[in-house]
Amino acid sequence: MSDIFLQMNRISKSYPGVQALKDVNFEVARGEIHALVGENGAGKSTLMKILNGVELPNSGEIILRGQPASITNPRDAQAQGISIIHQELALIPYLTVGQNIFLGREPKRAGSFVDWPRLYREAQTLLDRLNVEVDARAEVQFLSIAQQQMVEVAKALSLNADMIVMDEPTSSLTDRETEVLFEVMRSLRAENVSLVFISHRMEEVFEISDRVTVLRDGLYVDTKPIAELDESRIVQMMVGRVLGDLYPENDRVQGEVVLEAANLSDGRELKGVDLALRRGEILGISGLVGAGRTALAETLFGIRPAVTGQISLAGQSVRIKSPGQAVQLGMGLVPEDRKLQGLFLNLAVRDNIFISAIKQLLNFGFINFNKANKLAQEFVDKLGVRTPGLRQRVRNLSGGNQQKVVIARWLTLNPKVLILDEPTRGIDIGAKAEIHGLMSDLAREGMGVLMISSELPEILGVSDRILVMREGKVTAEFNRDEATQDKIMHAATGVQTATGVTENTRGTNAQ
């Protein structure tokens, strides 16, 4: 391994009531892919924000290329050869792909006029290098989340950075797109670029990384070559204990059908779906990107109008025209993007929990905050939400605890049906086990749970039954005992090799 490019020594950072980092050390060599792992709240993002100049440390030093460095804002980081791809995409939806890639760095003709042909030509070259089938002149708002993620990668490449930090870059990518990204990362490593890879997916950490640094509760645990580790050892380092089973034992008893759909279509992505969900059942929905899984959830919940088909709740035919009506009928939806669609980030934990049940808390038009505090605390305790207090802004919680807050909001209404779209996306392995246990508990109490997931191990480990979707239709149904990764991927793609493994997947991330 070549010489050290980055050293972060004894970095500490505290916020009111929270010690985010304490004497953390982190180093990255030139031309290596270095994985930074830890549970949500371990301090990974805070450490990278300090490297990017978004946050300033309370103490510690940063050394770049063997020299002390001062990084007080993102422009400082960029000027010193550091580019960061954040988990939350930072694209402007109403600008084109090319404009986003070169925003603030547009190539100019004589004078101050932008050289648009050159801008789009260079942007398209970057996209082609990533094998992204996107027109550089297309507006970002019309791209899928996966395509937007690849635009962020193209933007980082355009900076010709010496170091690129990738925070959960594969969370919205298909397996093919992930392989393309990994190929680009390997080529950058060969060009002596340093890469920091943050991911909760252990199989990816082992596939792409040279070394791994583990943080836990804001503290540095250890740095090891990937060849000296296995998954159980990394998990033990992350959580500070030997983790039990990730998927709960299935001892649930199913009852009558609580939600049924027949020939359901939205006129666009959904093309005649049938399903039946029973009380006490977890029904998993699997499929690739664009298969219509989220469209199914949004049509059931009234976000999208159903063009054809019928929905029944507890045996009664209903026509759900809005989310408000779905809530009144006893349904809840935990959306795919919790920060954009599920949370009021600037409000407190308490406010995010009680807001759906606000009518229960009104006295003569005023909120009874004693009742609100009691209600919120009840669900904080029940779901194990780790927060300094009920008045903590929800944006300051880890991803796993934010997800618990979204679920808690729906549980205040005691729904008959809970739809969860990617319930553990961007959540560490310890929080995943807690969410899986919570889902199992809710089903055991008689709730019908509809779970959409891109992770095949999760689909196989949690679901009682599995529906596989492709191109807006259900192509297969499996019970828990007969389902396998190969069967699901064959139904999701319609393509199977002679060995029984689909050609366009690594078998771990069906979307």
Is residue 498 scored above 60 in pLDDT? no
Per the domain annotation, does 335 fall within a domain?
Answer: no
CA atoms within 13 A on the CB side of 334: 28
Contact 97, 76 (CB under 8 A): no
The predicted structure's pLDDT at residue 424: 85
What is residue 465's predicted lDDT score, i.e. its pLDDT?
Answer: 94
pLDDT score recorded for residue 202: 84
Strand order in the sheet with 59-64: 18-29, 4-15, 59-64, 67-69
pLDDT tens-digit readout, 385-435:
888 889 999 888 877 888 899 998 988 888 999 999 988 877 777 778 888
pLDDT at 206: 94
Residue pair 83/165 in contact by the 8 Å Cβ criterion:
yes
Q: Is 380 part of any domain? A: yes
**Confidence check: pLDDT of 136 > 60:** yes
Per-residue pLDDT averaged across 462-476, rounded?
Answer: 93
**DSSP β-ladder status, 18-29 and 4-15:** antiparallel
Contact 321, 302 (CB under 8 A): yes
pLDDT attached to residue 227: 94
Q: How is residue 438 annotated by DSSP?
A: H
Q: Examine residue 232 and state whether it is found in any structural domain, yes or no.
A: yes
Together in a domain, 325 and 366: no
* 365: CB partners within 8 A, 6+ apart: none
Instruction: Please report the pLDDT score of residue 309 as a whole number.
Output: 93
Q: What's the pLDDT tens digit per position in 15-42? A: 876 788 999 999 999 999 999 998 767 8
Last residue of a domain, one of 378, 395, 414: 414
How deeply is 455 buried, as exposed, middle or buried, from its count of CB atoms within 10 A (0-12, 13-18, 19+)?
buried
Q: How far is CA 469 from CA 164, 288, 291, 381, 511, in A?
A: 36, 8, 6, 37, 10
Nearest CA among 99, 115, 98 for reference residue 107: 115
- Specify whether 65 is located in the same domain as 170: yes
Question: Residue 267: which of 293, 294, 298, 304 has the closest Cα?
Answer: 304
Q: What is the pLDDT of residues 233-257, one digit of tens each?
A: 888 888 775 545 567 777 788 899 9
**Tokens describing residue 153:** 């990668």
Residue 179 has a CB neighbour count (10 Å cut-off) of 17
DSSP H helices in 33-137: 44-51, 74-79, 97-101, 116-129
Give me the pLDDT at residue 238, please. Answer: 82
Task: Give the pLDDT band (50/70/90) at residue 500.
Answer: very low
Range of the domain at 399: 341-414
**CATH classification at residue 224:** 3.40.50.300
Percent of the chain whose predicted confidence (pLDDT) is above 70? 94
* Confidence tier at 499 by pLDDT (50, 70, 90): very low
Last residue of one domain, picked from the residues 185, 214, 239: 239
Q: Is residue 204 part of a domain?
A: yes
The CA-atom distances, in angstroms, between 328 and each of 321, 418, 420 are: 12, 13, 18
Residues facing 37 on adjacent strands: 214
The residue with greater pLDDT, 382 or 57, is 57
pLDDT for the residue 386: 86
pLDDT for the residue numbered 511: 36
Domain count, the chain: 3
Percent of all residues in the chain with a pLDDT value above 90, rounded to a whole number:
46
- Strand, coil or helix: 60: strand
Of 239, 256, 285, the last residue of a domain is 239
Cα separation, 107 vs 109, in Å, equals 7
Per-residue pLDDT at 455 exceeds 60: yes
Assigned domain for 444 exists: yes
Which residues are within 8 A (CB) of 306 and not within 5 positions of it... i.e. 6 or more apart?
Answer: 264, 265, 266, 299, 319, 320
For the ranges 38-47, 121-130, 238-247, 320-329, which has the lowest average pLDDT? 238-247
The answer to whether residue 336 sits within a structural domain is no
Averaged confidence pLDDT in the chain: 86
Contact 320, 371 (CB under 8 A): no
Q: How far is CA 175 from CA 17, 130, 289, 454, in A?
A: 40, 14, 10, 10
| DSSP code for 129 | H
pLDDT of residue 507: 34
- 293 and 407 belong to one structural domain: no
Statement to judge: residues 95 and 219 lie in one domain: yes
The predicted-structure confidence for 190-230, as pLDDT tens digits, reads as follows 989 999 999 888 889 999 999 999 998 889 999 999 999 98
* Whether pLDDT at 463 is above 90: yes
Same-domain pairing of 172 and 214 = yes
* Same domain, yes or no: 287 and 161: no
Same domain, 67 and 185: yes
* Residue bearing tokens 């309370």: 58
Examine the pLDDT at 83 and tell me if it is beyond 60.
yes
Give the pLDDT mean for 145-166: 85
Residues 177 and 213 in one domain: yes
289 pLDDT above the threshold of 80 = no
SS3 for 63?
Answer: strand
User: Is residue 363 over pLDDT 90?
Assistant: no
Residue 499 resides in a domain: yes
Handedness of CA 420, 424, 427, 432 (dihedral sign): positive
Question: Quick one: DSSP state of residue 425?
Answer: T
Is residue 421 located within the same domain as residue 409?
no
Residue 432: closest CA among 40, 5, 14: 40
Please give the pLDDT value at position 400: 80
Q: What is the pLDDT of residue 241?
A: 56
Question: Mean pLDDT over residues 173-195, rounded?
Answer: 85
Say what the pLDDT of residue 45 is: 85
More confident position, 448 or 238: 448
**Claim to verify: residue 231 and residue 309 sit in the same structural domain:** no
Say yes or no: 263 and 409 in one domain.
Answer: no
145-158 helix and 175-190 helix, angle to the nearest 10 degrees: 10
Pair 61, 101 in one domain: yes
Task: Give CA–CA dist 53/447, Å, rounded.
Answer: 46
The rounded distance, in Å, linking the Cα atoms of 82 and 202 is: 25
pLDDT above 80: residue 508: no
Q: Is residue 187 part of a domain?
A: yes
Question: Which pLDDT score is estimated for 245?
Answer: 57
Check pLDDT > 90 for residue 345.
no
In whole angstroms, what is the distance from residue 287 CA to residue 293 CA? 7
* Of residues 498 and 389, more confidently modeled: 389
- The answer, yes or no, to whether residue 119 has pLDDT greater than 90, is yes
What is the C-alpha to C-alpha distance for residues 67 and 282, in angstroms, rounded to an integer? 55
Please spell the DSSP secondary structure of 331-377, one letter per residue.
EEEE-S-IIIII--TTSBHHHHHHGGGGGGGEETTEE-HHHHHHHHH
Burial of 419 per CB tally in 10 Å (0-12, 13-18, 19+) = buried
Cβ atoms of 93 and 87 closer than 8 Å? no
Distance CA 158, CA 98 (A): 11
